[in-house]
Amino acid sequence: MSNFRSAHDDGNSIALMRYYELLSGTLGPMHWWPAKTPFEVIVGAILTQSTSWSNVERAIANLRSAKMLTPSAIRKARSRKLAALVRPTGYFRHKAKKLKSFVNFLQSEYGSSLKRMFRTPTAELREKLLSVHGIGPETADSILLYAGNHPVFVVDAYTHRIFGRHGLTIGKPDYDAVRALVEASLPAQPPIFNEFHALIVETGKRWCRKSAPNCEACPLRELLPADSAFLSASGTLPSGKPLAEALP
């Protein structure tokens, strides 16, 4: 029986630190987030919705060339021009609107000062960010953690997939439940949450793919419950149902 299950049976803290240690020992340090300034992190967090990071990099390069990587420049920019610059990320009109919503929020609430914004207590700022058009939980938490150094964990599709496969979560993915689980289980330090999120993403890309996860090579294999169908490298459940169909 795995560490997780015996800890989980205690009813509260789960041995997620072991996940962290195994991944960190193989992959770390990850040196996230790939951005030059806190504002660039925020722009990236908004633009990365529903697209790959390489597309975000192209859009950020466009914004940089046009000298538009500041809150005031984005606030003053014409919507059509802004949309054209972020076009590589897809849904570009919506994303231009989201960027404008954020900088207008920053102006009205904090006089365009990110320093002032990030001095706000974490829970209060999270609520405020979630009220901004186009900012959902994952984007809000990315902003809080990677731009503001607040102690929150960012949950993404890879987290849901890995936690679901390991029996850490059951049923429909629940963002806030997974976030609370990690935040209660690891030391509440931004560098730890930062690194753990990056490690989870890398694990999802390298081994825990949607179809045919490579458990044999994965550092987390020892934490996979003994009765897990994923110990099979066949990519199918015992029922013969393709793995991908059974996962979020």
Closer CB to ligand SF4, residue 98 or residue 161? 161
* Choice between 83 and 208, CB closer to ligand SF4: 208
What is the nearest approach in angstroms of ligand SF4 to the Cβ of residue 224?
5
Q: What angle do CA 115, 117, 120 make, to 5 degrees?
A: 110
Nearby residues of 241 by Cβ (< 8 Å), 6 or more positions away? none
- In the set 95, 150, 160, 166, which binds ligand SF4 (CB under 6 A)? 166
Q: Choose one: 29-37, 104-112, 187-195, 215-223; the region binding ligand SF4 (CB under 6 A).
A: 215-223
Q: Does 220 bind ligand SF4 (CB under 6 A)?
A: yes
Taking residue 171's Cβ as centre, other Cβ atoms within 10 Å add up to: 8
Phi–psi pair at 236, nearest 5 degrees? -130, 155
Applying CB under 6 A, among 44, 88, 148, 213 the residue interacting with ligand SF4 is 213
Query: Distance between CA 31 and CA 229 in Å, rounded?
Result: 33
- Pick the binder of ligand SF4 from 7, 17, 84, 215 (CB under 6 A): 215
* 221 makes contact with ligand SF4 (CB under 6 A): yes
Q: Is 230 a binder of ligand SF4 (CB under 6 A)?
A: yes
Its sign, for the CA torsion 83, 35, 144, 77, is negative
Three-state secondary-structure class, residue 212: coil
Contact 14, 168 (CB under 8 A): yes
Contacts to ligand SF4 by CB under 6 A = 162, 165-166, 203, 207-208, 213-215, 218, 220-221, 224, 230
